[in-house]
């Protein structure tokens, strides 16, 4: 599946056959929530062995994506720093 940011940057997402093992012993996990189209969506992320991923549920299916778009845009900036302002809602302080 390919998603697009508001600026048209492509984000390749891989559908997972089973949910990720969130909060497993050996991994660092954290999450944050954002409203997208009036729905609260939780994004989980992990940093492991120099690989960084976001995991999320879309239409009851689990997906994984790198933390940068196909075009090299940092998705962490889009999701964490820009927050809800990306989706046409009031920009809120995420810190």
Report pLDDT digits (tens) over 18-40.
887 766 665 666 666 766 666 67
95 inside domain:
no
71 inside domain:
yes
Stated pTM of the model: 0.55
Q: How many domains does the chain have?
A: 1
Quote the pLDDT of residue 81: 56
49 inside domain:
yes
38 inside domain:
yes
Q: Give the separation between CA 78 and CA 30, rounded to whole angstroms.
A: 17
Structural domain of 63: 2-87
Divide the 95 residues of the chain into consecutive groups of 10 and give the mean pLDDT of each group.
72 84 65 67 64 74 75 63 45 34
92 inside domain:
no
Quote the pLDDT of residue 86: 42
Quote the pLDDT of residue 88: 43
Q: Using DSSP, state whether 17 is helix, strand or coil.
A: coil
Quote the pLDDT of residue 46: 65
């Amino acid at each position: 599946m390919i998603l697009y940011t508001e600026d048209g940057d492509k984000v390749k997402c891989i559908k997972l056959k089973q949910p990720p093992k969130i909060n497993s012993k050996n991994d660092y996990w954290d999450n944050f929530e954002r409203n997208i189209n009036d729905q609260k969506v939780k994004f989980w992320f992990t940093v492991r062995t120099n690989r960084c991923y976001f995991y999320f549920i879309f239409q009851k299916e689990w997906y994984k994506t790198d933390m940068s778009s196909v075009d090299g845009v940092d998705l962490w900036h889009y999701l964490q720093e820009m927050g809800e302002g990306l989706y046409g809602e009031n920009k809120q302080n995420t810190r």
